[in-house]
Amino acid sequence: MAGGRGAEAVDTVLACGEVRTCLLQHSQALPGTAAAGLLRLRAGRRVLLSERPNPYALSPEVLTGVDCNLPTASGAKVRAVGTVTARAALTEGRLLQADAFCAATADGPDRRRPWGHYLARPGIVEPFGKLPDRDVADGCLAGAGKPGELDLGAVAERVLRHVLRDPALDRAAPFRAQVTRLRWVALRAPDGAASSIENFTVAQDGLRTVELRLTGGIVTAAAARLCEDLALHDWLLTTLVRMVERSRLGSVEGRDAVAALRPAVDHLLHLWMPTARVDQVLHPLWEVLEREPGFSRQWQILVQRIRDQLALLAVSAHVQP
């Protein structure tokens, strides 16, 4: 099944999406009211705010109508019609995410239906005929390669740029960090198999890909939330690794390294909260990432290195005559 109002009765065999994650281009973390103003993507729809376990704002969903070919690994043309869901989120008033996602049915009619039919099924696309789900899943992970193909990354990027152009932002971020992209697909797990993460890849250009296998039908909203959480923590880990590298920790005088790492201490170290907003049913999938590649283990090692350096600097300052 797919998440979203009016979509609960629609049986889907594939979900896919793309998440953009970046540092908000603003000198200060935005409080709740300012975050709500920034993420008000639809007039008359409220932004959801949460204070526990950390400040979080989620925009209303925006639908984009699509009538295009789906990406396929084989190059086969698979036309589909429907709507794509997009939204933006802000964590701790500092980390901005924009994502776009949809789910596809196993088959569809041979001709296009009135738009009212598709609007009644938000976030669902229907193929013309039978959907080659494996071929489309591989194509989605590779990304749109031809003009006229569904490009969820472009939809997410449009939402991200819309938010970042807000005149309320002073564009004075406290440190440098790259934008990361997480491209994901979810397929049904074989009968009797548990939900799993089949592949998680990291490329040098900021692109990550992940494939999920889900039991009990595909709940698109839950899969999207899991991938948003994965994208957020991958960005945190990637950013901290780069900051430690740039600080030349262990190679330069302690004060210089600590000064370079000060933004990490001020803005990042307290943000590590895996699965805080993930459906409990999908928590075991994060445990897979803890075993390989070991997200939290690597994070904790980096944090301990930074804290050790701070402790050494404090001791050195204390014993100086």
Per-residue pLDDT at 169 exceeds 80: yes
The mean per-residue pLDDT over the stretch 132-161 comes to 94
pLDDT at 180: 97
pLDDT at 317: 52
Bridge partners for 233 per DSSP: none
pTM for the full predicted model: 0.91
pLDDT at 213: 94
Single out the residue of 77, 75, 35 nearest to residue 57, CA to CA. 35
pLDDT, greater one: 79 or 44? 79
Percent of the residues in the chain that have a pLDDT greater than 70, as a whole number:
92
pLDDT, greater one: 243 or 144? 243
Instruction: Phi first, then psi: give them for residue 308, nearest 5 degrees.
Output: -65, -40
Token pair listed for 202: 């990291």
Q: For residue 53, what are the contacts with CB-CB under 8 A and spacing of at least 6?
A: 273, 276
The mean per-residue pLDDT over the stretch 310-315 comes to 69
Q: For 248-253, which contacts have Cβ atoms below 8 Å and span 24 or more sequence positions?
A: 249/305, 249/306, 249/309
Q: For residue 64, what are the contacts with CB-CB under 8 A and spacing of at least 6?
A: 83, 84, 86, 100, 155
pLDDT at 252: 57
Per-residue pLDDT at 73 exceeds 60: yes
Token pair listed for 272: 């590590």
Token pair listed for 249: 């920790």
- pLDDT category of residue 251 using cuts at 50, 70 and 90: low
The mean per-residue pLDDT over the stretch 144-171 comes to 95
Q: How far is CA 98 from the centre of its chain?
A: 7
pLDDT at 6: 42
Per-residue pLDDT at 320 exceeds 70: no
Token pair listed for 310: 């701070």
Give the chain's mean pLDDT. 90
Residue type, position 54, single letter: N
Bridge partners for 85 per DSSP: 63, 101
